[in-house]
Amino acid sequence: MEPVERTELSILSEIGRISTSADDLHRKLQRIIEVVMRGIGKEGASVFLLDRSGKNVILEAAAGLNQEAVGKLTFPLGKGIAGWVAQQKVPLALADPYSDPRFQYVPETGIERFKSLVAAPIMDEDRCFGVIFVLSGQTWNATSSEVTVLTTTANQISGVIRNTLLFQDIEDRLARLASIYEISMALTSTLDLNQLLSLIARNTSSSLRAQGCTIHLLDLPAGDGENRDFRPKFIDDAVGGLDNLFGGRMLSSTIGEKRPLLVADTSQDIRLQDISGRHRVSIISVPLLFHDRVTGVITLYSAEHGQSFNDDDLQFLTTIASGAAVAVENAALFEREERLASDARIRAQEFSILYDVGTAMSATLNLDRLLRIILTAATMGGTGLGFNRAILLLTNERTNILQGMMGVGPTSWDEANQAWTEVAWKHKSLMEWIQTGELFASKDTAFNAIARSIRVRLEPGDSILAQTVLDKRAFNIIDAAADPRVRKDVLEMLKVNSFATVPLVAKGRAIGAILVDNLFTNRPITDHDIRFLTMFAHQAALAIDNAVIHSNMEAMNRDIRIIHEQLAQSEKMAALGTMMAEITHEIRNPLVSIGGFTRRLARKVTDPDAKKYIDIILSEVGRLERIIHDNLEYIKNVAPKFSRTPLNSVIEEVLLVYEDELRQRGIAIERELSPDAPSLDMDPQQMKQAVVNLVVNAMEAMEKGGTLTARTGPVAGSREAIMEIGDTGPGISPESMHNLFNPYYTTKVRGTGLGLAITHRIVKAHKGNIVFRNKETGGAVFAIRLPLPRE
Partner 1 sequence: MKKILVVDDEENICSLYREELEEMGYEVTTVLDGSSAIAAIEKARYDLVTLDMRMKGMDGIETLRKLKEKDARLPIIISSAYEEYKNDFGSWASDAYIVKSADTAALRDTVKKILG
Cβ 615 to partner 1, closest distance in Å? Answer: 13
Q: Rank residues 522 and 593 by Cβ distance to partner 1 and give the closer one.
A: 593
Q: Rank residues 109 and 598 by Cβ distance to partner 1 and give the closer one.
A: 598
In a 13 Å sphere around the CA of 7, the CA atoms on its Cβ side amount to 19
Binding mask 381-420 for partner 1 (x = CB under 8 A): ----------------------------------------
Distance from C-alpha of 541 to C-alpha of 44, rounded to nearest angstrom: 100
Residues 6+ apart with CB under 8 A from 212: 201, 205, 235, 236, 237, 238, 239, 242, 300, 301
On whether the CB atoms of residues 15 and 153 are closer than 8 A, the answer is: yes
Cβ 707 to partner 1, closest distance in Å? Answer: 31
Q: Rank residues 236 and 683 by Cβ distance to partner 1 and give the closer one.
A: 683
Q: Rank residues 538 and 629 by Cβ distance to partner 1 and give the closer one.
A: 629
On whether the CB atoms of residues 262 and 253 are closer than 8 A, the answer is: no
Site for partner 1 in 594-653 (CB under 8 A): 594-600, 618, 621-622, 625, 629, 632-633, 636
Distance from C-alpha of 111 to C-alpha of 632, rounded to nearest angstrom: 153
Q: Rank residues 585 and 663 by Cβ distance to partner 1 and give the closer one.
A: 585
Q: Which residues of 327-350 are buried (b: 16+ CB within 10 A; e: fewer)?
A: bbbbbbebeeeeeeeeeeeeeeeb
Do strands 92-94 and 116-124 pair parallel, antiparallel, or not at all (unpaired)?
A: antiparallel
Q: Rank residues 64 and 595 by Cβ distance to partner 1 and give the closer one.
A: 595
Cβ 681 to partner 1, closest distance in Å? Answer: 19
Cβ 595 to partner 1, closest distance in Å? Answer: 2
Cβ 631 to partner 1, closest distance in Å? Answer: 10
Cβ 636 to partner 1, closest distance in Å? Answer: 5
Cβ 662 to partner 1, closest distance in Å? Answer: 21
Distance from C-alpha of 363 to C-alpha of 370, rounded to nearest angstrom: 8
Cβ 667 to partner 1, closest distance in Å? Answer: 24
Q: Rank residues 566 and 619 by Cβ distance to partner 1 and give the closer one.
A: 619
Cβ 365 to partner 1, closest distance in Å? Answer: 50
Distances (CA, A) of 575 to 172, 175, 571, 785: 122, 118, 6, 32
Q: Rank residues 49 and 621 by Cβ distance to partner 1 and give the closer one.
A: 621
Distance from C-alpha of 323 to C-alpha of 337, rounded to nearest angstrom: 21
Q: Which residues of 485-511 are buried (b: 16+ CB within 10 A; e: fewer)?
A: ebbeebbebbebbbbbbbbbbbeeebb
Distance from C-alpha of 535 to C-alpha of 157, rounded to nearest angstrom: 85
The secondary structure of 252-263 as a DSSP string is: HHHHHHTS-EEE
DSSP state of 99: G
Q: Rank residues 566 and 685 by Cβ distance to partner 1 and give the closer one.
A: 685
Residue 154 Cα to chain centre, angstroms? 80
Virtual torsion, Cα 374, 380, 386, 389, nearest 10 deg: 70
Q: Rank residues 599 and 663 by Cβ distance to partner 1 and give the closer one.
A: 599
Cβ 633 to partner 1, closest distance in Å? Answer: 8
Distances (CA, A) of 48 to 51, 69, 112, 168, 323: 9, 11, 18, 18, 40
Cβ 635 to partner 1, closest distance in Å? Answer: 9
Cβ 577 to partner 1, closest distance in Å? Answer: 10
Cβ 567 to partner 1, closest distance in Å? Answer: 23
Q: Rank residues 209 and 600 by Cβ distance to partner 1 and give the closer one.
A: 600
3-class secondary-structure state, position 473: coil
Distance from C-alpha of 190 to C-alpha of 182, rounded to nearest angstrom: 12
Q: Which long-range contacts (CB under 8 A, 24 or more apart) does 225-233 make?
A: 230/255, 230/296, 230/297, 233/193, 233/194, 233/197, 233/296
Binding mask 332-361 for partner 1 (x = CB under 8 A): ------------------------------
CA-closest candidate to residue 591, choices 549, 624, 627, 633: 624
Cβ 632 to partner 1, closest distance in Å? Answer: 5
Site for partner 1 in 540-599 (CB under 8 A): 581, 584-585, 588-599
Q: Strand order in 667-673's β-sheet?
A: 667-673, 706-714, 720-726, 780-787, 769-774
Size of the site for partner 1 (CB under 8 A): 24
On whether the CB atoms of residues 495 and 519 are closer than 8 A, the answer is: yes
Q: Rank residues 175 and 638 by Cβ distance to partner 1 and give the closer one.
A: 638
Q: Rank residues 342 and 593 by Cβ distance to partner 1 and give the closer one.
A: 593
In angstroms, how far is the first alpha carbon of the chain from the final one?
160
On whether the CB atoms of residues 261 and 309 are closer than 8 A, the answer is: no
Q: Rank residues 21 and 589 by Cβ distance to partner 1 and give the closer one.
A: 589
Interface positions with partner 1 (CB under 8 A)? 581, 584-585, 588-600, 618, 621-622, 625, 629, 632-633, 636
